[in-house]
Structure 1
Amino acid sequence: MTLNLYETLRYFMEAPSVTGFEQQRRERIIEVFSKYCDTVTVDVMGNVIGVLGKGERDVMLAGHYDQLGFMVTHVDKDGFAGFTQVGGWDKRVAYGTRVKVWVGDGPEDYIVGAVAVKAAHLTDAKERDQSPELKDMLLDLGVDSEEEAAKLGVKSGTVCTPYLDVTRLGTKDSDKLIGPAFDDVCCVAGLVKTMEILSKNPPKNIKVHFVATVQEEIGLRGAAIAAYNIMPWAAIATDVTHAVAPGVKPNQVGGIELGKGPVVALGGNFTRALWEMMESEAEKHGIPCQRHGVPARSGTDAWAIQIERGGTICGLISMPNRYMHSPNEVISLKDLENLGSLIAITVQALGESDLQHNVEVYRR
C-alpha cells in the first residue's frame, strides 16, 4: 500500500470539521489511521488516537483536525441568518464568502449560503474603506422567511464552512496547493506519512500515539486531555506557521518560505535536546528544513502538551502556510512530504536516545 498524500489530504479536507462538530472528518481519519495502526480509539473529547508499536516509552505525535467556521445565532423574519465566528476569523476575508451551511451529519447534508455584501455602488466613502464587523454581517440562505430556513434545518447552533475544496495552485502539476483550513488538517495528513514510514520500520522501544486532536482553535483543549491520559515520555506537535507572502515581510515570519521544508521551532515551549535532534536528523537524511525562534507562547498543541502532569520532552515541527485563516490558504506538497518524513526519523532517533526527564546532578 503506497500513500498518495495529496489524495489523503483531499479526503480529509472535503469533510467539515468545525470545532465542536468534527464528526464527519473524524470518521475519515479513523478509516485512514486504521490502515496503519495497531489500535485506534476515540476519547471523550473526540481526539482520534492511533497506536503503533509496543515499546516502553510513549511518544505522542499531535496535529489538530478541527477548523474555523461560523455558527448561526439567529434567523430573522426575512430568512437572513446572523452568525458568530468559531475560532479566529478575519472579518476582511469573511465578507462575501460563499459557505456550506451544514444542516445534517452527512457529506451532502448542506445548503449553499453566502455572507451578504452591500454593493460598492450603494456604499459611502467611509463604508468602502473598512470591512463591517462580523456581528453586523448576515448569511443569505436563499430563502424568504424564518419559517423556510427552519424547514431546511437552519437554526441557532447550525455551523457553516467555506467551500471545502483542495486543488493545485497554478498548473495541474504544481507543488503548491490551495484550499481553506489547511490549518491544521494538512499536518494530520502529514502524520499519515509518518505512519506509513514507521509501520515499515518501527522505532526501538517506542509506542507511538498518533493523535488527531480537537478544539485547538478554541484553546488547545483536545491536546491537553490527550496528553494527560497518554502521559507521553516525549511529544511532537505539528501545526501550520506563517510564511512569506505578498505584503508579509520576512522579518514578520522569521523568513519562513514555502517549498524550503518544514520548520523546527526553538524556544521555551520546546526541549532543546529534541529540537537539536530534529535538525541533526534532517541534515543527516538530506531533508530540507527551516528554523523559527518562538520566544514565548507557540499557540499550538505543544503549549498544552509540554506542561501536562509533570511535563514532557516536547517539540514542534510546522508547515509553512500563506494566507492563514482565510478561504484560500496555500501550502507546498513537498513541504508536507518532508514534514512526515522528518517526524518519522526523529521518532526513530528518539528510540535510540538516552534523553531523560529528571537527571540527578548532585547527591551528598
Structure 2
Amino acid sequence: MRDASFEFLQQLLAAPSPSGYEQPAQRVFRSYIEPFCQVATDVMGNVFGMIQGAGNNRPRIMVVGHSDEIGLQVRYLDDNGFIYFSAIGGVDPHITPGMRVHVHTAKGKLNGVIGKRPIHLIEPKERDTVIKLDAQYIDIGAANKKEALEWVRVGDPITFDSNLERLFGDRVSSRGLDDKAGSFVVAEVLRRVSELPDQLPIDLYGVSSVQEEVGLRGGTTSSYSVNPDVGICVEVDFATDQPDVDKKHNGEVGLGKGPILPRGANINPVLFDLLSDTATGNGIVVQYTGIARATGTDANVMQISRGGVATALVKIPLRYMHTPVETLSLADLDGAVELIVASLAKMGHKEAFIPM
C-alpha cells in the first residue's frame, strides 16, 4: 500500500463516526476524493464521488462502502456525574467494562472509562454474569452532575479509544474497520480510475454511505438517488482463521488470502461471474463464500432499489468484528481495489446483466 493511501486510512479510522454522527469521517473522505472526481453530499450525509465516462448509453455503476461505526450514546447523567449510555449498532456488553472511551461533545473530546466493581466486591455466583449495557456507566472524572453537564449533553456520541495499530507483517488493528475499510476501497477505486489513460465506458459513482449499522439507511437513499444499473458493495466479512470461529458457519476465509466474493440470492450471477473471471484473468487471488439469503449489507437494499439493480459484494476478511480491535490484512484491501478497477472496464452494457 502506498504511503499516502495508508495515511488516508489512518485519518479515516481516527475520525469518530458512530451511526448518525458520521460527519468527521465523511469530511476526511470528501477531502481525499475531491482532487480527482466531482463530489456531492446529500441530506442524509452520504458522500458521492462521480467520474463521467465516454461513449453512448453508459451504464451507471455504483460502488459503496459505509463510513459509520458502532459506538455509544449518552443517555442519562446521575447526580454524581456518571454517564449512562445506550448502544449505537451491535455493541457486545461482554467487552465494554474497563474500556477507555471518548465522549464527543460540542466543546471537544472528553476522555472517559467504563467503570466496573472490583472482582473482590463481586459475589462468586455473579462473576460469570454479563452486565447489561444499561447498567454500565462512564466515569469522566466529574465531581457531580453539574460539572459533567458543563460539557456533556444527552445524545452526545461516544467512541472506543482505539486507533490504527500495525501488527506483524501487513496486518493492522483498529476500531471502525467495519466498514471504513469499505469506504477506503471506494475512495481508492475513484483515485485509480481517475488515473487511467482512457475514460471507461461507464459513469462511476463512488459512495461513502451512512447509518448502515442501524438499518442500511444511507445505502437505501443513496441507491435511490444514483439509480445505478450495477452496484458493488464493499464490506467486511467474518474471518474464520481465528481459533474460536467455526468454518462450518461462514466457510474457509483467512486474512491475506484475498477479497471475498459471495454467491447467493443477493448477488447477480452475471456480475459474480464477471468479477470472478476478472480475478482469474488478472491473477488476483480471491476467496468465495455462500450467502443463501439477503445479506445484512448495503447490497441488500441496493439490489431492490427502484426496478432492481445487478448487485455484487466484494468483502474484506476481518477478525474480531464489532470490537475495538478489528484486524485485517492491507493486502486484502489492495486486492479489492485491483479487482474492482479491473472489472469496471468490462461493464459497458447494462443489458448484459439480465440473467438468462
Q: TM over 0.5: same fold?
A: yes
2:74 to 72, 75, 83: 72
CA displacement at 1:60 relative to structure 2: 0.4
The amino acid that maps onto 1:16 is P
Cα distance in 2 between the residues matched to 1:61 and 1:218: 20
Cα distance in 2 between the residues matched to 1:354 and 1:297: 23
Q: Secondary structure at the match of 1:178?
A: strand
Q: Hey, what does 2:121 align to over in structure 1?
A: 122
CA contact (8 A) 1:266 1:275 kept: yes
> Where does 1:21-36 land on structure 2 (aligned, <5 Å)?
21-36=21-36
TM-score by length of 2: 0.95
Cα 1:42–1:190 change in 2 (3 A) is same
Cα distance in 2 between the residues matched to 1:349 and 1:318: 20
CA displacement at 1:352 relative to structure 2: 6.5
Does 2:237 match 1:235? Answer: no
2:213 to 209, 213, 217: 217
Does 2:160 match 1:158? Answer: no
Q: Hey, what does 1:54 align to over in structure 2?
A: 53
Q: Hey, what does 1:86 align to over in structure 2?
A: 88
Does 2:171 match 1:179? Answer: no
Q: Secondary structure at the match of 2:276?
A: helix
CA contact (8 A) 1:239 1:319 kept: yes
Cα distance in 2 between the residues matched to 1:86 and 1:339: 28
Q: Secondary structure at the match of 2:277?
A: helix
> Where does 1:237-252 land on structure 2 (aligned, <5 Å)?
237-244=233-240, 245-252=242-249
The amino acid that maps onto 2:153 is K
The amino acid that maps onto 1:127 is E
Q: Hey, what does 1:362 align to over in structure 2?
A: none
Q: Secondary structure at the match of 1:345?
A: helix
Does 2:188 match 1:189? Answer: no
Does 2:288 match 1:291? Answer: yes
CA displacement at 1:351 relative to structure 2: 2.7
Deviations 1:157-215 (A, max 9, x none): 01100124101013xxx210011110000111112221222112255320000000000
1:321 to 314, 318, 323: 318
Q: Secondary structure at the match of 2:204?
A: strand
CA contact (8 A) 1:236 1:314 kept: yes
CA contact (8 A) 1:192 1:340 kept: no
CA contact (8 A) 1:262 1:290 kept: yes
CA contact (8 A) 2:275 2:339 kept: yes
Cα distance in 2 between the residues matched to 1:312 and 1:357: 10
Cα distance in 2 between the residues matched to 1:289 and 1:50: 26
CA contact (8 A) 1:65 1:213 kept: yes
Cα distance in 1 between the residues matched to 2:323 and 2:308: 34
CA displacement at 1:11 relative to structure 2: 1.0
The amino acid that maps onto 2:86 is T
Q: Hey, what does 2:137 align to over in structure 1?
A: 138
Deviations 1:215-248 (A, max 9, x none): 0000001011111111101000011100021211
Cα distance in 2 between the residues matched to 1:235 and 1:353: 11
CA contact (8 A) 1:203 1:351 kept: no
CA displacement at 1:138 relative to structure 2: 0.6
Q: Hey, what does 1:7 align to over in structure 2?
A: 7
CA contact (8 A) 2:98 2:114 kept: yes
Q: Hey, what does 2:301 align to over in structure 1?
A: 304
Structure 1: runs of 5 or more not aligned? 360-364
CA displacement at 1:58 relative to structure 2: 0.7
**Equivalences, count:** 350
CA contact (8 A) 2:268 2:355 kept: no
Q: Secondary structure at the match of 2:15?
A: coil
Cα distance in 1 between the residues matched to 2:30 and 2:254: 32
The amino acid that maps onto 1:77 is D
The amino acid that maps onto 1:221 is R
Cα distance in 2 between the residues matched to 1:343 and 1:91: 37
- Runs (4+) of structure 1 exceeding 4 A deviation are 356-359
Deviations 1:266-315 (A, max 9, x none): 00011001111111100111111001100002100000000000001100
The percentage of aligned residue pairs carrying the same residue is: 31
CA displacement at 1:353 relative to structure 2: 7.4
Cα distance in 2 between the residues matched to 1:32 and 1:342: 21
Cα distance in 1 between the residues matched to 2:355 and 2:325: 45
